[in-house]
Structure 1
Amino acid sequence: MLRIYASILLFSVAFSNSFAQELNARVELSAPQLQNTNARTLELLQRVISDFLNSRSWTDKAIRPEERIDCSFNIIISEYDGSKQYKATAQINSARPVYGTNYNSPILSFRDKYFNFSYVEGEQLDFNDNQNLGPLSSLLGFYANIIIGMDMDSFRKSGGTPLFSKARTIMNYSQSSQVEGWRGMEAMDNRYWLITNLVDRTYLPYREFSYAFHREGLDTMVDNEAKAKGIMGELLGRLKEVDRTHTGNVLTNALFTAKSNEFVGLFSKMPGNESVKIYNLLAELDPANISKYETLK
């Protein structure tokens, strides 16, 4: 079922909180490199993160329970000082349903190598769009807005802009902290560049691609599969217009990390030499995954 993003009146929020929680997040937290980590500590932290993501209303949109966004946070802790400081990486994924099918199309696949935070057992996680109330809540709030924004982009042209504005605000106020990942000078593949790309007109074609690929392509396959695949193949060609060598470009990698397997499944066994044409295009756009695309030849 397609999600319907509709504004709700303020007075109805009090009666409809169960319909306003946008995320259906699965959180996995592990520390395979740490020998003396208390399993209970990790279980409690995992539950706190899951509750924070899933129990909060991130927008003023009416969302039915079955329309919540499927996403996952796979957090791997590499260092813990035994008190409150954690050093970790996180793999963040999300997907959205395809109309008339049971298939979920991947939207986001991003590995955060700087998912560091502090947390004391029993601490209440608070969040404010405009104020830094802690490194963990800022991290989670940032990705919640990214996930919802990218989901909205796939349903409506530039639909995620308000969420990306919130994520950029979080990035801006988090730069005053000592937490890695919020500053562009630290690395070329961190949170700073992810949100900077999403609000940069240089990469607007990626956002336009997301809308057209999903709404005009995938969501129409149930009616005319051949036509839908033709549309999606044409849309891939438009990505050649993007300056993929632009400084700090992380969206190219994020897009193809999320979509490469899907592209192989969609464009295999097309009539004539259409699959070969798609292979040649993908080999140019995404050489990092060329081995996957070999099956299209």
Structure 2
Amino acid sequence: MKKVFVLIIALLSGVAAFAQEFRCNVTVSHQKIQGANRQMFRTMQADIYEFMNNRKWTEHVYTYDEKIRCNILIRLDEQISSDEFRGSIQVQLTRPVFGSSYETTVLNIKDNDFRCKYVEFQPLEFNETSNRDNLTNILAFYAYIVLGFDYDTFSPEGGTPFFEKAQSIVNNSQNASEKGWKAFESERNRYWLIENVLNKSYSDFRKCMYSYHRQGLDVMAQKPEEGRSTIATSLRDIQSVFRRRPSLYILQMFFDAKSDEIVNIFSKSFPDERNRVVAILNEVDPSNGSKYKKITESEDL
């Protein structure tokens, strides 16, 4: 009996040692496609879920509570042929904040260049050195993007190995017929996403991602004023990147994820700090100016 118990513990330990990285929710929406095989889309959703959650993406060991929380929403707008589809993919990464029950949105990105082939019951296979399958290339690209952004929030430029893997996928996809991989196709696609992240000229962006989350949000539960002050300082790094190149894709991504949160954080701040932050925000993200006005309209502390 003791031997059986030891064997069970060993097996459970082996499972824990190889625990995968993601707690990824996957939704495949197909309402716009009429007359199609509905079961096929359910199978597609299950296959993508398994691809994201059951594949080992890193060499690191994760407990269940440490798994990275993300969501993938694929909207299929058109069935081009029996096994080819076009639509969009939206990827959201959230991260728990230390000492609280709050989860912050780190990444919320929508990619409209989603085109894939899918054959029901055919395994999803990803090859790091080829571009044979656009579906798994896109999924793997965003898996590494999510890993990179998550790691960047815990250590300075900690996500570099994963961003480099995402860059390799882009490089291997330069001959792909599908859109989203090439520089000339758009200023906001997968090519420019990874180019912006790894470009040393914009390294202050990644500096902000670390200080905003690890030295700012993670401190606020115990030292709210100190954490908020650090977040205010981190926005100066975003301002620095903006002044280098205002139209960067990563800047839009940052405010898509953070604008509402920033309003909530600084609505509880001191008047001088609120005014300084709003001045930065109005410069670097003028499209959300009406939203940021709520900060200065909040009551003085």
Shorter-chain TM-score above 0.5:
yes
More off after superposition, 270-279 vs 143-152: 270-279
Over residues 230-260 of structure 1, what are the superposed CA-to-partner deviations in whole Å (9 max), with x where a residue is unaligned? Answer: 1111221232211456397200000010110
Q: Look up the match of 1:291.
A: 290
Q: Look up the match of 1:150.
A: 149
Unaligned runs of at least 5 residues, structure 1:
1-11
Does 1:229 pair with 2:228? yes
Q: Look up the match of 2:239.
A: 240
Does 1:189 pair with 2:188? yes
Q: Look up the match of 1:3.
A: none
Rg (Cα) greater in structure:
2
Over residues 137-179 of structure 1, what are the superposed CA-to-partner deviations in whole Å (9 max), with x where a residue is unaligned? Answer: 1110000000001100000111000001100111111122211
CA distance in 1, matches of 2:259, 2:185: 28
Please give the residue correspondences for 1:198-277 in structure 2 after superposition, counting only pairs within 5 Å: 198-243=197-242, 246=245, 249-277=248-276
- Pairwise CA distance, 1:80: 0.8
User: Are the counterparts in 1 of residues 205 and 237 from structure 2 also a CA contact under 8 Å?
Assistant: no
Over residues 178-230 of structure 1, what are the superposed CA-to-partner deviations in whole Å (9 max), with x where a residue is unaligned? Answer: 11100011111111100111111122111110111111111111221111111
- Pairwise CA distance, 1:17: 5.7
Q: If the length of structure 1 is used for normalisation, what is the TM-score?
A: 0.91
User: If each structure's helix is expressed as a fraction of its own residues, which one has the higher value?
Assistant: 2
> Residue 176 of structure 1: SS of its match in structure 2?
coil
CA distance in 2, matches of 1:187, 1:17: 42
**What is the aligned residue count?**
286
More off after superposition, 14-23 vs 104-113: 14-23
Q: Look up the match of 2:96.
A: 97
User: Are the counterparts in 2 of residues 279 and 294 from structure 1 also a CA contact under 8 Å?
Assistant: yes
Unaligned runs of at least 5 residues, structure 2:
1-10, 297-301
Q: Give percent identity, aligned residues only.
A: 34
CA distance in 1, matches of 2:120, 2:244: 44
Alignment root-mean-square deviation, CA:
1.9
Please give the residue correspondences for 1:83-122 in structure 2 after superposition, counting only pairs within 5 Å: 83-122=82-121
Give 4+ residue runs of structure 1 displaced > 4 Å after superposition: none
Over residues 55-81 of structure 1, what are the superposed CA-to-partner deviations in whole Å (9 max), with x where a residue is unaligned? Answer: 111000011111111111111111113
CA distance in 1, matches of 2:226, 2:195: 35
Q: Look up the match of 2:79.
A: 80
Over residues 114-145 of structure 1, what are the superposed CA-to-partner deviations in whole Å (9 max), with x where a residue is unaligned? Answer: 01111111111112323334111111000000
CA distance in 2, matches of 1:173, 1:244: 32
User: Are the counterparts in 2 of residues 126 and 133 from structure 1 also a CA contact under 8 Å?
Assistant: no
CA distance in 1, matches of 2:19, 2:174: 30
